[in-house]
């Protein structure tokens, strides 16, 4: 970092610092606000002042800034255009759109700033706009379905803003989306919002709430599928005060966008779920950690939280009871690893998002080393209905092992991509043909579960979408991704894109993941360019299984899942290229 501490007016920063307690946990919110005050960057003088105020070593502050991709220490354009090139956007023309943006602003390359300093253009990983591919984020506004001939409109922020695309049957989690104004509390209360909270606080003990959730068979909807009621029970029983509830809204998996739709369409539902979790485990404080690439969702949640405080639903003595609870929104700053629960804790605490070794587990040693229940957005959003209707209510849908309804993220070569809410057990074919309007072209492969998932082939389209049925085929439910590729797609390019995603997002804490993701990317780069070597097939398997067995967190443990699955399904995918390359 350069010596830019002269001629910096620090008075705007002093106003920011005055809003936060002088503790390390304030670091990320302060950095966000300071960067907005100083033209989209964080000059060294600003970082020094923040360091002194929080009594955090300057090297630590600089390390945090360098770790998160949405913070800038050096020069950056007055506007930043981020273009996603992950698989759903890639097959929708993202590279052509990115090239057009770079030409329009002055014939620059991705990662560069125009000569007049007006615009920085970046190639980025998933923006959660997979249903509106290709997607772009221009400063704090998301745009979808952008084509190369719409670049001028994009740069002038006059392109089509991102929209909410939801369908399914029954509409349980999503029934108010598109029907009620997202932050109109009266409209939502008239439609039943916070009736479950009132029921819990006035007629149920915390243990009874937990038993309802356990009876429903609810498991985590973020990918891990851990029983929610058991997690709450462990946290409530753990020694130590205070206890915390954390909502993980850092969905960054390519192909995943369901949580964005829930937060933008019905923020009160998510917040009520957090409050019920807080009551159940005995917490007085909750954090909602949302990825930095979701500015619209963050704005709506902030407005909803402020509305609840003003109405007496958040804060002291909620609904006139002895229950006091508040929620703080924390914005991430561009790091997929923070979707891992312990890395998310580190981010809230004002650190780089490095995963912690387990055990101990969050239920006993979580946020601030205190007992913590951390749940996904979709998981918490169904809790109000469970509490209101009873645990047996959720079991009317799905199967014995896959209970209830699920949000699936349909993207790629389908007529109508978007969030689809259906019971577990609907087949892949029915999901696409009934709710997605059918396939575009002839399907070649379907990526299930996201970048860390597995592939299905066209002869497996009648597979029921359940944990048990997909597991038999080596494909997870994961975060609900159903990404379709037709026969026009070169699957080697898709594997290359996934490899770049993981290499970019590895935090570097553990050697197997840090090195493995880089080697995996290098091999798949060669393969995609027709330069594969005879040893690459075996090397990819060795690297993949090493990462799976030896990485310390879920990122490294699943970074090769899709690649290993592809090699098993299509063993000639690399061998044919290797043979051609030798001739």
Tokens, residue 339: 């979707």
Long-range CB pairs of 468-476 (<8 Å, 24+ gap) are 468/399, 468/401, 468/402, 474/565, 474/568, 475/448, 475/449, 475/565, 476/223, 476/448, 476/449, 476/452
Same domain, 213 and 267: yes
Least confident residue range of 160-164, 234-238, 272-276: 160-164
Same domain, 203 and 235: yes
Q: What is the pLDDT of residues 267-278, one digit of tens each?
A: 999 999 999 999
Last residue of a domain, one of 338, 363, 393: 393
- pLDDT tier at 581 (50, 70, 90 boundaries)? low
Tell me which residue range forms the domain holding 90.
82-155
Residue 106 domain flag: yes
Residue 107 domain flag: yes
Closest CA to 212 of 385, 13, 364, 52: 385
Same domain, 443 and 565: no
- Does the pLDDT at position 2 exceed 70? no
DSSP string, 55-100: T--HHHHHHHHHHSTT--SS---SEEEEEE-SHHHHTTTHHHHHHH
Helix (H) or strand (E) segment spanning residue 338 = none
Residue 169 domain flag: no
Contact 88, 409 (CB under 8 A): no
Same domain, 426 and 363: no
Average pLDDT of the chain to the nearest whole number? 95
Same domain, 353 and 283: yes
d(CA 538, CA 534): 9
Same domain, 136 and 285: no
- Does the pLDDT at position 434 exceed 60? yes
Same domain, 325 and 381: yes
CATH of the domain at 125: 3.40.30.10
Q: What is the pLDDT of residue 3?
A: 47
Last residue of a domain, one of 458, 484, 510: 484
Last residue of a domain, one of 42, 67, 92: 67
Q: What is the pLDDT of residues 496-513, one digit of tens each?
A: 999 999 999 999 999 999
Residue 176 domain flag: no
- Angle between helical axes of 561-569 and 536-550 (0-180°, round to 10): 140
Count up the domains in the chain and report the number. 5
Same domain, 419 and 328: no
Task: Report percent pLDDT > 90 for the chain.
Answer: 92
Q: What is the pLDDT of residue 491?
A: 95
Same domain, 210 and 263: yes
Same domain, 198 and 218: yes
Helix (H), strand (E), coil (C) string for 205-252: CHHHHHHHHHHHCCECCCCCCCEHHHHHHHHHHCCCCCCEEEEEECCC
Burial class (CB in 10 A: 0-12, 13-18, 19+), 151: buried
Closest CA to 440 of 402, 480, 413, 465: 413
Q: First-to-last CA distance in the chain?
A: 49
Q: What is the pLDDT of residue 157?
A: 79
- Does the pLDDT at position 167 exceed 80? yes
Q: What is the pLDDT of residue 421?
A: 98
Q: What is the pLDDT of residue 242?
A: 97
Residue 134 domain flag: yes
Query: In residues, how long is the chain?
Result: 583
- Does the pLDDT at position 405 exceed 70? yes
Edge to edge, the sheet with strand 166-168 lists 166-168, 418-423, 405-412, 481-486, 443-448, 454-456
- Mean pLDDT over 116-128 rounds to 96
Closest CA to 508 of 477, 467, 553, 541: 553
Least confident residue range of 23-27, 362-366, 573-577: 573-577
CATH of the domain at 425: 3.10.20.600
Residue 210 domain flag: yes
- pLDDT tier at 224 (50, 70, 90 boundaries)? confident
Q: Provide, for the chain, the percentages of residues in helix, strand and coil under a 3-state DSSP scheme, each rounded to the nearest 5.
A: 45, 15, 40
Residue 220 domain flag: yes
- Does the pLDDT at position 583 exceed 80? no
Q: What is the pLDDT of residues 443-477, one digit of tens each?
A: 999 999 999 999 999 999 999 999 999 999 999 99
- Does the pLDDT at position 9 exceed 60? yes
Residue 72 domain flag: no
- Does the pLDDT at position 5 exceed 80? no
Same domain, 553 and 423: no
Same domain, 56 and 140: no
Tokens, residue 269: 């539902």
d(CA 56, CA 48): 10
CATH of the domain at 513: 1.20.1440.230
């Amino acid at each position: 970092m350069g010596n830019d501490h002269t001629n910096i007016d620090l008075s705007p920063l002093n106003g920011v610092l005055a809003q936060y307690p002088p503790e390390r946990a304030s670091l990320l919110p302060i950095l966000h606000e300071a960067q907005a005050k100083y033209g989209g960057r964080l000059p060294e003088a600003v970082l020094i002042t923040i360091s002194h105020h929080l009594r955090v070593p300057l090297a630590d502050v600089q390390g945090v800034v360098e770790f998160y991709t949405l913070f800038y220490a050096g020069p950056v354009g007055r506007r930043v255009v981020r273009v996603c090139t992950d698989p759903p956007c890639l097959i929708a023309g993202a590279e052509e759109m990115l090239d057009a943006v770079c030409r329009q602003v002055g014939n620059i390359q991705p990662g560069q700033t125009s000569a007049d300093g007006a615009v920085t253009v970046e190639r980025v990983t998933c923006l959660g706009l997979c249903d509106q591919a290709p997607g772009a984020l221009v400063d704090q506004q998301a745009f979808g379905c952008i084509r190369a001939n719409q670049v001028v409109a994009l740069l002038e922020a006059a392109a089509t803003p991102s929209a909410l695309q939801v369908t399914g049957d029954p509409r349980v989690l999503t029934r108010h989306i598109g029907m009620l104004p997202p932050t109109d509390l009266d409209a939502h209360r008239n439609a039943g919002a916070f009736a479950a909270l009132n029921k819990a606080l006035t007629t149920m003990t915390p243990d009874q709430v937990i038993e309802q959730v356990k009876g429903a068979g609810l498991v985590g909807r973020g990918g891990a599928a851990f029983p929610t009621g058991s997690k709450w029970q462990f946290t409530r029983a753990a020694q130590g005060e205070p206890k915390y509830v954390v909502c993980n809204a850092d969905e960054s998996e390519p192909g995943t966008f369901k949580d964005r739709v829930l937060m933008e369409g019905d923020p009160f539902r998510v917040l009520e779920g957090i409050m019920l979790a807080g009551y159940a485990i005995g917490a007085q404080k909750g954090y909602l950690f949302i990825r930095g690439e979701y500015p619209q969702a963050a704005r709506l949640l902030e407005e909803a939280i402020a509305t609840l405080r003003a109405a007496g639903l958040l804060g002291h003595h909620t609904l006139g009871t002895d229950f006091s609870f508040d929620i703080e929104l924390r914005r991430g700053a561009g790091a997929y690893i923070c979707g891992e629960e312990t890395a998310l804790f580190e981010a809230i605490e004002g650190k780089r998002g490095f995963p912690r070794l387990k055990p101990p587990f969050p239920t006993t040693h979580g946020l601030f080393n205190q007992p913590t229940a951390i749940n996904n957005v979709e998981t918490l959003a169904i809790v109000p209905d469970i509490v209101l209707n009873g645990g047996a209510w959720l079991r009317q849908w799905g199967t014995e092992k896959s209970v209830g309804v699920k949000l699936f993220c349909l993207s790629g070569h389908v007529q109508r991509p978007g969030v689809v809410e259906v019971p577990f057990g609907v087949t892949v074919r029915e999901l696409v043909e009934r709710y997605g309007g059918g396939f575009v072209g002839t399907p070649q492969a379907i990526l299930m579960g996201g970048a860390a998932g597995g592939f299905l082939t066209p002869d497996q389209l009648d597979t029921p979408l359940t944990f048990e049925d997909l597991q038999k085929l080596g494909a997870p439910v994961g975060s609900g991704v159903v990404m379709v590729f037709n026969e026009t797609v070169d699957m080697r390019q898709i594997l290359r894109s996934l490899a770049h995603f993981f290499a970019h997002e590895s935090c570097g804490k553990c050697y197997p993941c840090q090195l493995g993701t880089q080697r995996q990317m290098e091999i798949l780069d060669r393969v995609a360019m027709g330069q594969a070597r005879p040893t690459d097939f075996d090397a990819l398997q060795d690297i993949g299984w090493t990462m799976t067995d030896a990485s310390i967190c879920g990122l490294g443990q699943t970074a090769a899942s899709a690649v290993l699955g592809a090699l098993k399904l299509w063993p000639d995918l690399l061998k044919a290229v290797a043979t051609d390359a030798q001739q």
